[in-house]
């Protein structure tokens, strides 16, 4: 980094003449900036008045146009003569032309004022004077061999961000040439629909059929009335050619199709999506949304809520406030760690986790995600595998990480969130207060303005590592999935057309999915409310998120709660129906009384009303489907209850990570009345498919797995291992060449999942290769090798056949097995039993003996808790052999067929385990 030149040192090095000129330049710069500020403020006020005046005039004119459209609608409704209809259309066309000319004139006057506001000439003179003095000082500095410091250079730049967009008079967003990047004229009335930040929420309607044709909301509505009137005139659309020709002569785009867009989307595409590297995209996003709320946490009220807390129980921090903390922490750690260092983050979800994440991205540090619930041996492995230099941790974890440091020679620094503890022996670890580092650096932001070489270096490193996300390996050793800077930017900076954009963060940020959700919210200017998982329903009801992404086990649990609630409601049908009746009465009372005059008019068809009802007998018949109707009402009520559990404002919901059942997906759609997405993806390759539809960015093929009986030639659908390739897939596993070679081959990633592609081209996950079981434990996916654990159990001689199975939504495994004859006879002798083998499965002691055996093996071989079966299914009556199709010719069990045979019992056993576990809590 170039050494900073102190301003006072600079003055002392100059001659007396140079010192005098330097002070004059500085004063002239100050005078010029102050004049510019006043001119901008005054100009902005005048422009706001002119915009208001022009808007009022436009509103008046467009009301006249709208009235003509209404009159045309009335004529068409009465089906009057074509001459009258054409006459009214011509009037409409004439008024449109008048409006176009008027608004064009108003716009031109506004443009002239913007480009040449009051006092502009005086400002230009000051700039010229400053530039002339600055040039003289520069020449003098060369003569006296003195470099001009940044303090002087800064005076010369009225707009430091001269390469990007800046906000000028009237809130318009312009480039360095003063061109309006986002202004779009309405094709009909010439009005500027989009006006930068000022019009960020304005609607515009863009032609799908013709490029660069946009309509404002008012003109789109008027045009729509004309088209609907024509359709009403003749539903078959065989309207007179003369009428259509009249419209086309006036406007060849009249019958285009239009899609609604918001200015913020265009703004985002221009400002963020064109960012070529991560650092500038982060800085731009923070600048754009600096006034918006970003992070929110539940207020601590001590049990008492004031009026403000009652209105919004969450305390919000803006993008601008967070950015100040990001810049501070980034500056603080840059004095301690060199660029390219690996930094761990181990903490519960909080502001500091994400502040550190953004700061590391700006400084080009690679973040290594650590779950605060992981055992120390796994954390030690990750620290050593990634050569971690420092870790951001909460104060309650300091002792644990000091213990780790004795086995982790690369670890030197702990950045502690909270109070620094007083510890005598830190094993030479240096401890820093996270919050003190935030405050430490102020002038680092200025360094970035003047140190161009740093920015150039960062931009060259977009293929460097952004983060390592660790998941458990097949043998228990975690694998560090590499995420590059460019891939992270491409994956998370996509624009999602949702306003307002709000999410709840409740699962661990150390998991790639939750972290990605927050970054997507960031790039969309959204807000993020933090919640503990135990308080998720309550906090979601308060935050009312617009998007909600949950793990499959969350949605399944919610679905099970719904089914139980529905069942209870059916049992208490009479009481539920009374509640529904009361609710309907309340809703009716709350409805506004509209059209009072219409209600008070005498009824014209009084005679018709007094006629006897012909179908009275039919009406009095009992409803055959009354019971179904009542059940439907109750179901609707319960669905509404569950909709409100997540705030009632969702625009879409998604299940991420792995597949969920169709029943749960249907429940999500019905309950939240919005699109429900079942997203299949893995950390190595996110977003492979949605609701079975393969992503257009993803190349996918199935590879035969003959040992499991899967082939592309299978009927009715091809089946095999899912092999994928995307632009944003991980390049491999960090410091693990063996696993990288095993899973990443010739640019393709071998998922280990077995898929089937149906006749509609949809992907279905049906199995897992290599007998690996995926579970969801402590907020992350873990993989266990069922084969290696099964071999331990076979060694006992207690099993003739055995298979372990698990579910991605659960944290435990289930054992399905046939006991060996030896074990059965031994058990009978021990308990002096003479019962048949079939009766043994009902004997509690027989079942207990297997759980005790599993615990003994777990203790002997140091198995993890989730590697020990929590449920069992015993097969006594039917053998697994070649004849039954459950064993291959070489004697291996066919796991997919065994699971299919016992799937119903497996699901029932999972429910039973969950019930037992919940009672123990």
Tokens of residue 140, six digits: 């003098």
With 90 as the cut, is the pLDDT of residue 408 above it?
yes
With 90 as the cut, is the pLDDT of residue 672 above it?
yes
User: pTM (2 decimals)?
Assistant: 0.61
Asked, for residue 77, whether it belongs to a domain, the answer is yes
Return the pLDDT at 262: 56
What's 389's domain CATH number? 3.40.50.12780
pLDDT tens digits for range 887-910? 754 466 878 789 989 999 999 999
Please work out, in degrees rounded to the nearest 5, the angle formed at the alpha carbon of residue 760 by the alpha carbons of 757 and 761. 40
What Rg value do the Cα atoms of the chain yield, rounded?
35
758 and 882 together in one domain: no
Tokens of residue 852, six digits: 């005790």
Return the pLDDT at 591: 57
Mean pLDDT in the chain? Answer: 78
Instruction: Give the confidence band of 834 by pLDDT, cuts at 50, 70, 90.
Output: confident
Choose one of 230, 249, 264: the last residue of a domain.
264
Tokens of residue 860, six digits: 């002997």
- 300-309, 399-408, 882-891: lowest mean pLDDT where? 300-309
pLDDT tens digits for range 477-486? 789 999 999 8
pLDDT tens digits for range 603-656? 443 333 334 334 334 333 444 454 558 888 899 999 999 999 999 989 889 988
697 and 742 together in one domain: yes
Asked, for residue 359, whether it belongs to a domain, the answer is yes
Question: Residue 478's CB: how many other CB atoms inside 10 A?
Answer: 22
Return the pLDDT at 606: 32
756 and 869 together in one domain: no
Asked, for residue 417, whether it belongs to a domain, the answer is yes
Query: CB under 8 Å to 427, separation ≥6 — which residues?
Result: 402, 405, 406
- Of the CA atoms within 13 Å of residue 458, those in its CB half-sphere come to 24
Question: Residue 443's CB: how many other CB atoms inside 10 A?
Answer: 10
Asked, for residue 305, whether it belongs to a domain, the answer is no
735 and 825 together in one domain: no
pLDDT tens digits for range 488-527? 988 887 666 566 688 999 888 988 888 999 999 998 888 9
667 and 721 together in one domain: no
DSSP H or E segment with residue 766: strand 763-768
Contact in structure between 227 and 233 (CB atoms under 8 Å)? no
Choose one of 749, 768, 787: the last residue of a domain.
768
Q: Which residue has the higher pLDDT, 13 or 276?
A: 13
693 and 764 together in one domain: yes
What's 753's domain CATH number? 2.30.38.10
156 and 216 together in one domain: yes
Return the pLDDT at 214: 81
Number of separate domains in the chain: 5
Q: Which residue has the higher pLDDT, 454 or 467?
A: 467
Asked, for residue 624, whether it belongs to a domain, the answer is no
End-to-end CA distance of the chain: give it in Å, rounded.
Answer: 57
With 60 as the cut, is the pLDDT of residue 238 above it?
no
What's 860's domain CATH number? 3.30.300
For the chain, what percent of residues have pLDDT higher than 90?
29
According to DSSP, residue 107 is labeled H
666 and 698 together in one domain: no
Return the pLDDT at 607: 39
pLDDT tens digits for range 132-184? 888 888 888 888 887 776 556 544 444 333 333 333 333 444 444 444 445 57
Asked, for residue 295, whether it belongs to a domain, the answer is no
Which residues constitute the domain of residue 906?
Answer: 795-920
Asked, for residue 781, whether it belongs to a domain, the answer is no
Q: Which residue has the higher pLDDT, 233 or 799?
A: 799
Asked, for residue 270, whether it belongs to a domain, the answer is no
Cα separation of 640 and 562, whole Å?
11
Cα separation of 665 and 725, whole Å?
27
| Bridge partner residues of 483 (DSSP) | 467
With 80 as the cut, is the pLDDT of residue 315 above it?
yes
Instruction: Give the confidence band of 432 by pLDDT, cuts at 50, 70, 90.
Output: very high
Q: Which residue has the higher pLDDT, 253 or 733?
A: 733
Q: Which residue has the higher pLDDT, 576 or 731?
A: 731
The average pLDDT across 584-608 equals: 50
With 60 as the cut, is the pLDDT of residue 309 above it?
no
Q: Which residue has the higher pLDDT, 132 or 596?
A: 132
Ordered DSSP codes for 7-43: HHHHHHHS-HHHHHHHHHHHHHHHHHHHHHHHHHHHH
Please work out, in degrees rounded to the nearest 5, the angle formed at the alpha carbon of residue 247 by the alpha carbons of 243 and 251. 165
715 and 804 together in one domain: no
Instruction: Give the confidence band of 239 by pLDDT, cuts at 50, 70, 90.
Output: low
The average pLDDT across 3-18 equals: 66
730 and 760 together in one domain: yes
Return the pLDDT at 745: 95
Return the pLDDT at 849: 94
pLDDT tens digits for range 367-394? 999 988 787 888 999 999 999 999 999 9
pLDDT tens digits for range 737-748? 999 999 999 999
95 and 79 together in one domain: yes
Choose one of 524, 539, 563: the last residue of a domain.
524
Count of residues for the chain? 921
Q: How far is CA 913 from CA 360, 601, 872, 906, in A?
A: 43, 67, 10, 11
Q: Which residue has the higher pLDDT, 205 or 208?
A: 205
The average pLDDT across 760-772 equals: 82
758 and 820 together in one domain: no
Phi-psi group of 810: left, alpha or beta (phi > 0 → left; psi -120 to 50 → alpha; rest → beta): beta
């Amino acid at each position: 980094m170039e050494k900073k030149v102190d301003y006072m040192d600079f003055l002392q090095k100059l001659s007396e003449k140079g010192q005098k000129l330097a002070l004059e330049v500085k004063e002239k710069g100050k005078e010029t900036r102050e004049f510019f500020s006043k001119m901008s403020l005054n100009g902005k006020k005048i422009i706001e008045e002119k915009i208001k005046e022009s808007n009022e005039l436009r509103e008046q004119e467009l009301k006249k146009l709208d009235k003509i459209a209404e009159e045309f609608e009335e004529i068409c409704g009465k089906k009057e003569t074509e001459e009258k209809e054409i006459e009214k259309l011509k009037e409409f066309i004439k008024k449109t032309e008048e409006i176009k000319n008027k608004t064009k004139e108003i716009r031109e006057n506004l443009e002239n004022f913007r480009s040449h506001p009051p006092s502009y000439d005086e400002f230009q003179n000051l700039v010229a004077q400053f530039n002339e003095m600055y040039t003289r000082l520069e020449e003098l500095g060369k003569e006296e061999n003195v470099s001009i410091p940044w303090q002087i250079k800064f005076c010369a730049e009225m707009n430091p961000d001269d390469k990007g967009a800046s906000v000028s008079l009237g809130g318009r967003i312009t480039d360095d040439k003063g061109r309006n990047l986002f202004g779009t004229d309405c094709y009909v009335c010439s009005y500027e629909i989009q006006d930068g930040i000022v019009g960020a929420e304005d609607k515009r309607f863009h032609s799908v059929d013709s490029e660069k044709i946009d309509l404002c909301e008012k003109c789109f509505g008027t045009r729509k009335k004309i088209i609907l009137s024509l359709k009403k005139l003749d539903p078959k659309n065989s309207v007179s050619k003369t009428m259509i020709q009249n419209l086309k002569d006036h406007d060849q785009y009249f019958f285009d199709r239009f899609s609604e867009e918001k200015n913020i989307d265009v703004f985002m595409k221009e400002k963020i999506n064109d960012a070529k590297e991560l650092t500038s995209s982060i800085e731009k996003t923070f600048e754009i949304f600096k006034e918006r709320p970003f992070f929110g946490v539940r207020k601590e009220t001590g049990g008492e809520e004031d009026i403000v807390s009652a209105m919004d129980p969450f305390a919000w921090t803006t993008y601008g406030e967070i950015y100040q903390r990001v810049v501070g922490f980034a500056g603080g750690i840059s004095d301690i760690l060199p660029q390219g260092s690996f930094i761990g983050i181990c903490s519960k979800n909080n502001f500091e986790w994400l502040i550190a994440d953004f700061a590391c991205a700006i400084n080009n540090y690679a973040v290594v995600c650590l779950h605060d619930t992981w055992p120390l041996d796994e954390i030690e492995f990750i620290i050593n595998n990634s050569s971690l230099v420092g870790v951001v941790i909460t104060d309650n974890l300091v002792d644990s990480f000091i213990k780790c440091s004795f086995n982790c020679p690369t670890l030197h620094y702990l950045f502690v969130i909270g109070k620094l503890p007083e510890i005598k022996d830190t094993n030479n670890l240096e401890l820093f207060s996270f919050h003190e580092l935030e405050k430490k650096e102020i002038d680092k932001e200025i360094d970035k303005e003047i140190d161009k070489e740093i920015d150039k270096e960062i931009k060259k490193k977009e293929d460097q590592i952004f983060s390592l996300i660790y998941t458990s390996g097949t043998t228990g050793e975690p694998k560090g999935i590499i995420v590059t800077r460019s891939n992270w930017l491409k994956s998370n900076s996509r624009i999602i057309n949702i306003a307002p954009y709000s999410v709840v963060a409740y699962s661990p940020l150390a998991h790639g999915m939750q972290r990605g959700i927050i970054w997507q919210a960031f790039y969309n200017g959204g807000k993020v409310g933090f919640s503990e998982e135990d308080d998720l329903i309550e906090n979601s009801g308060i935050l009312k998120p617009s998007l909600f992404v949950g793990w499959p086990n969350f949605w399944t649990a919610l679905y099970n709660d719904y089914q139980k609630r529905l069942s209870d409601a059916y049992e208490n049908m009479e009481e539920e129906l009374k509640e529904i009746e009361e609710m309907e009465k309340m809703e009716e009372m709350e409805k506004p009384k509209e059209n009072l005059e219409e209600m008070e008019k005498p009824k014209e068809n009084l005679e018709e009303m007094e006629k006897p009802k012909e179908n009275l007998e039919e009406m009095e018949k009992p409803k055959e489907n009354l019971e179904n109707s009542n059940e439907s009402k109750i179901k609707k009520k319960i669905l509404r209850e569950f909709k409100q559990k997540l705030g009632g404002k969702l625009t879409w919901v998604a299940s991420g990570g792995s597949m969920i059942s169709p029943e749960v997906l249907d429940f999500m759609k019905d309950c939240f009345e919005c699109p429900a997405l079942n997203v299949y993806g893995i950390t190595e390759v996110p977003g492979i498919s949605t609701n079975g539809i393969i992503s257009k960015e993803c190349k996918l093929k199935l590879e035969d797995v003959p040992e499991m009986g899967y082939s592309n030639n299978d009927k009715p659908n091809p089946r095999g291992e899912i092999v994928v390739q995307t632009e944003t897939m991980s390049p491999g596993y960090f410091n693990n060449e063996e696993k990288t070679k095993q899973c990443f081959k010739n640019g393709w990633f071998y998922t280990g999942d077995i898929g089937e592609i149906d006749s509609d081209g949809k992907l279905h996950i049906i199995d897992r290769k290599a007998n690996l079981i995926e579970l969801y434990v402590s907020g992350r996916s873990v993989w266990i090798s069922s084969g290696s654990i099964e071999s331990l159990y076979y060694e006992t001689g207690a099993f003739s056949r055995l298979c372990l199975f698990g579910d991605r939504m659960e944290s435990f495994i289930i054992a399905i097995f046939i006991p060996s004859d030896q074990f059965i006879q031994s058990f009978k002798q021990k308990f002096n039993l003479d019962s048949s083998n079939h009766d043994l499965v009902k004997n509690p002691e027989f079942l207990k003996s297997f759980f005790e055996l599993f615990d003994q093996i777990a203790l002997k071989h140091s198995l993890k808790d989730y590697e020990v079966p929590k449920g069992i299914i015993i097969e006594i009556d039917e053998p697994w052999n070649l004849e039954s199709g459950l064993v291959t010719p070489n004697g291996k069990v066919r796991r997919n067929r065994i699971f299919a045979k016992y799937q119903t019992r497996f699901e029932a056993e999972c429910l039973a385990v969950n019930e037992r576990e919940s009672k123990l809590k």
